[in-house]
Amino acid sequence: MRILLVEDEQKVASFVKKGLEEEGYAVDLAADGEAGLLMALDDVHDLIILDINLPQKDGIEVLRTLRRKKKTTPVLLLTIRAAIEDKVIGLDTGADDYLTKPFAFQELLARARALLRRRTDAELPVLKVADLTLDPSSRLVARGEETIELTAKEFSLLDYFMRNQGRVLTRAMISEHVWDYSFDTETNVIDVYVNYLRKKIDTGHNPKLIHTVRGVGYVLKVE
């Protein structure tokens, strides 16, 4: 899953980004409200973590604009404002949750997981292609009766493939969704991970599901 972090404090941003990436999320970072709003309007993120005190546009203004434009991506507000009135304003504007600074990373992670779980449960509880199943809530993957163990990055990659069954995904599309905007598409990391995934879900099983489209990318489909 892909998270947008809008935070102008460099140390906080670096700490949170690194922690989320270690948990298997793709994280895009914006350092001011205007940049954050433009990225949020792309509709490619599963969650937005949004600081209130930002240069250019503050977080409340960013949030208000997103909701006015009917963007439903969950938003977790970060704030140093502890007053109840400020929290009420944030929630009334359309925030799904808030966290007061300073915070423990594990609490932020738990709140992020809860919002992501709520979103995936509402959209599509279980993904299924042929006899391959992926449960976004429990993060369980199985091929027939066999449970398949995946790393966090492999799980994110398979989730993206299954949500786009039959659609050819270019390396650029995969890198932007599973990794981040700044990922170097010239490396062979994507091909390596696709091969890891193919071995785990296709070896010893029929039909084969992950196919290479030469010169373009990959597609998950039943042939």
Q: Domain ranges in the chain?
A: 2-122, 127-220
Q: CA 140, CA 144: separation in Å to the nearest integer?
A: 12
Asked whether residue 45 carries a pLDDT value surpassing 60, the answer given is yes
pLDDT (0 to 100) of residue 121: 58
The answer to whether residue 1 scores a pLDDT higher than 80 is: no
Where is average pLDDT lowest: 51-65, 77-91, 197-211? 77-91
Q: Is the dihedral angle over the CA atoms 85, 86, 88, 93 positive or is it negative?
A: positive
Please name the fold of domain 127-220.
Answer: Arc Repressor Mutant, subunit A (1.10.10)
Q: What are phi and psi of 50, to 5 degrees?
A: -125, 120
Rank 17-26, 78-87, 179-188, 210-219 by mean pLDDT and report only the highest: 210-219
% helix / strand / coil in the chain, to the nearest 5? 40, 20, 35
pLDDT of res. 218 = 95
pLDDT at 182: 58
Task: Count Cβ neighbours within 10 Å for each residue of 140-172 and write b for 16 or more, e otherwise.
Answer: ebebeeeebebeebbbbbbbbbbbbeeeebebe
Question: Residue 181 above 70 pLDDT?
Answer: no
Question: Could you read off the pLDDT of 133-174 as tens digits, one per residue?
Answer: 998 777 899 999 999 999 888 988 998 899 889 999 998 888
| Cα gap 88→140, rounded to integer Å | 37
- Mean pLDDT of the residues in the chain: 87
Lowest mean pLDDT among 16-25, 175-184, 208-217: 175-184
Nearest to 59 by CA among 85, 84, 30: 30
Least confident of 30-34, 112-116, 135-139, 204-208: 135-139
Q: Which of 172, 178, 176, 162 is nearest to 220 (CA)?
A: 162
CATH among 3.40.1000.10, 3.40.50.720, 3.30.2270.10, 3.40.50.2300 for 2-122:
3.40.50.2300
| From 5-14, 95-104, 167-176, the region with the lowest mean pLDDT | 167-176
Q: Is 127-220 the same fold as 2-122?
A: no
Average pLDDT over every residue of 70-83: 84
Mean pLDDT of 72-98: 82
**Is pLDDT at 123 greater than 70 in this prediction?**
no
